[in-house]
Structure 1
């Protein structure tokens, strides 16, 4: 196992296997290293744990790209955050429409039972890789005719330009969880694979509730970095 791990790691670090490159199939690799699939899988799992490679369900293994450095307090829109790190991002709207708030959402957003919300589900790609699945839950009373707008754009900008709503404070919960159903499919993960979940309850500058965001990150694609000195856009 050590030989396989060290060989692949060396080729990655020397640039022969470049970020985003797909590795040969497990069958091909096991033949090249004259080893069993079990031993090969152990070596690949070790490299995955170290962030050197990642797996996409039914597609195979790939060389990891650098992790995105992410401060969840960042108020500027996500595309601006990514572009400051010289990366490419795409946002795709998966679905949007009215829903009834679950008991968990009612508790998190301090809403009465059976409250109506607008839900927007979006998928974000970083340098062509599916890394982030987001569920947005909004108060319909604050965003009339929201579904008529382009929901693939920055919601931060849309809130400000169309509704005069700007973020104030926010409450965060950051936990590890398992990808299930739509989340696993969107992120090309096996059902039950680990993901990082950031739940954010957003309030406006007057302290009134805006929305709840649930961000499901591929854990190997992001670094959560919070500085005790807030960046300039948070201090404004």
Structure 2
């Protein structure tokens, strides 16, 4: 019976969204309100909402409730354009917030990713990225510090790709990617207004310059409803 009731409420909510009765970023009724409205249990409501979240139609913010997801942006990993350009090209509004910067000796896992056998100092740049005012992407950039003297004095909220080229003459000529659906770590979840352990899409990216040298790697944590991978190799 629970599955049947969950399916019914899911279809009703999906119809409200597809019919634009509820608009992107709009808060939908709470689980308690939906439970009373449909005269069903909170378990049935949560099951329906979880299913719609997996479909990317709604998203949850910790302690705030459920909201209608905006259309996904299209992310082509083979494209060389930076985040702000990618979002502008899709008629959306991008913003980047610098959260933290630190210089450390690379932990072994990151040193291996950067193909470094010796002790290597790196700069770690943590940033939060927004689309249309919603935080959807947490990024950790790990830069080999020898390649980027004085970079920490620059505006690190701007495109690092453009900064690399303008200040250091490095062109991002190649990138390797790993895509990993996983659970949001606590610090990422907090930044994205999620609950720790919620599903997230992690993208590990290794960047090479025009001399085929690994210069940095980055770890992107995306809200899964915010984007779709779209490969266009032409």
Q: TM-score range by the shorter chain?
A: over 0.9
Would you say 1:53 and 2:58 are equivalent positions? Answer: yes
Q: Secondary structure at the match of 1:144?
A: coil
Q: Secondary structure at the match of 1:17?
A: coil
CA distance in 2, matches of 1:178, 1:108: 21
| 1:1-40 alignment runs, 5 A limit | 1-40=6-45
Shift of 1:149: 0.7
Which residue number corresponds to residue 148 of structure 1?
Answer: 153
Q: How many residues align?
A: 229
* Residue pair 1:97, 1:147 contacting (<8 A) in 2 also: no
* RMSD of aligned Cα (Å): 1.2
CA distance in 1, matches of 2:177, 2:137: 17
Which residue number corresponds to residue 109 of structure 1?
Answer: 114
Which residue number corresponds to residue 200 of structure 2?
Answer: 195
Shift of 1:169: 1.3
Shift of 1:113: 4.5
Return 106-115 or 185-194, whichever deviates more. Answer: 106-115
Change (3 A) 1:166 1:132: same
Which of 217, 222, 225 is the equivalent residue of 2:222? 217
* Residue pair 2:120, 2:144 contacting (<8 A) in 1 also: no
* Residue pair 2:103, 2:121 contacting (<8 A) in 1 also: yes
After superposition, give the CA deviation of every residue in 1:171-210 in whole Å (9 maximum; x if it has no partner): 1111112111211111222111111111111111111221
* Residue pair 1:142, 1:210 contacting (<8 A) in 2 also: yes
* Residue pair 2:105, 2:122 contacting (<8 A) in 1 also: yes
CA distance in 2, matches of 1:172, 1:11: 37
After superposition, give the CA deviation of every residue in 1:98-125 in whole Å (9 maximum; x if it has no partner): 0221111111111124421000000111
Which residue number corresponds to residue 184 of structure 1?
Answer: 189
CA distance in 2, matches of 1:188, 1:12: 22
| 1:31-110 alignment runs, 5 A limit | 31-110=36-115
Q: So what's the TM-score if we normalise by structure 1?
A: 0.93
Point out where structure 1 has 5 or more consecutive residues left out of the alignment.
230-236
After superposition, give the CA deviation of every residue in 1:61-87 in whole Å (9 maximum; x if it has no partner): 000111110012221221011111111
Q: Which runs of 4+ in 1 moved over 6 A?
A: none
Q: Secondary structure at the match of 1:82?
A: helix
CA distance in 1, matches of 2:75, 2:48: 29
CA distance in 1, matches of 2:17, 2:87: 24
